[in-house]
């Protein structure tokens, strides 16, 4: 058996494709852009929250450290999610979009009211805003439709009007 190769004899075809997916190389200009924006955001957070964090917690970098941990989790999630084949995201676009629409309607009825607005669910002690899932779902659906329609997307009637 070759180093790093998985035994795929007893696995289903989709699982085998997911394991054997050849990862694309890292897009370094895009990664540099993300890290630059992340660094600038953390620097602004430090500048804006230094006095408040020191006053409220006694630790002047409390909010910055906390946000840095969330940024690291986000970067790790970005790395692992980028290893999933695009065909998986293409197949999941419409189901995720449907779930997000249901959650957006459900939050109006059963959502937690915070600051006078019903925008949140509390699931296992964690607050969740369905609109964040909806943003991801819309991007996936638009990407799927762009691939499905192909060259027709270059026309105004297909590209801008139907996607808008």
Alpha-carbon gap, residue 100 to 135, rounded angstroms? 9
| Chain length of the chain | 164
pLDDT 10s digits, 91-146: 999 999 999 999 999 888 887 777 777 777 877 878 888 899 999 999 999 888 88
pLDDT at residue 9 in the model: 52
| Residue 36 to residues 72, 81, 83, 85, Cα–Cα distance (Å) | 14, 20, 22, 26
Average pLDDT along the chain: 82
What is the pLDDT averaged over residues 157-161?
70
pLDDT at residue 49 in the model: 93
pLDDT at residue 2 in the model: 43
- pLDDT band at 53, cuts 50/70/90? very high
What is the pLDDT averaged over residues 40-62?
93
Percentage of residues in the chain having pLDDT higher than 70: 82
What are the phi and psi torsion angles at 127 (to 5°)?
Answer: -80, 135
Q: CA 145, 148, 153, 158 torsion: positive or negative?
A: negative
pLDDT at residue 12 in the model: 55
pLDDT at residue 77 in the model: 93
Alpha-carbon gap, residue 31 to 75, rounded angstroms? 10
Percentage of residues in the chain having pLDDT higher than 90: 43
Alpha-carbon gap, residue 33 to 40, rounded angstroms? 11
The DSSP H or E segment spanning 14 is helix 13-19
Spatial contact of 18 and 81, defined as CB atoms under 8 Å apart = no
Spatial contact of 63 and 49, defined as CB atoms under 8 Å apart = yes
pLDDT at residue 153 in the model: 75
pLDDT 10s digits, 71-83: 999 999 988 888 8
Alpha-carbon gap, residue 43 to 37, rounded angstroms? 10
């Amino acid at each position: 058996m070759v180093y790093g190769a998985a035994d795929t004899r007893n696995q289903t075809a989709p699982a085998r494709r997911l394991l054997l997916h050849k990862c694309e190389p890292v897009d370094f200009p895009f990664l540099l852009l993300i890290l630059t924006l992340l660094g600038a955001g953390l620097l602004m957070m430090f500048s804006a929250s230094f006095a408040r964090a020191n006053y409220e917690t006694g630790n002047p970098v409390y909010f910055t450290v906390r946000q840095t941990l969330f940024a690291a989790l986000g970067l790790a999630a970005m790395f692992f999610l980028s290893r999933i084949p695009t065909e998986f995201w293409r197949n999941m676009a419409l189901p995720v979009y449907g779930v997000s629409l249901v959650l957006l309607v459900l939050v109006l009825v059963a959502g937690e009211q915070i600051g006078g607005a019903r925008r949140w669910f509390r699931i296992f002690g964690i607050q969740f805003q369905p609109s964040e899932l909806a943003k991801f779902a819309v991007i996936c659906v638009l990407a799927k439709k762009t691939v499905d329609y192909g060259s027709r997307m270059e026309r105004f009637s297909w590209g801008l009007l139907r996607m808008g």
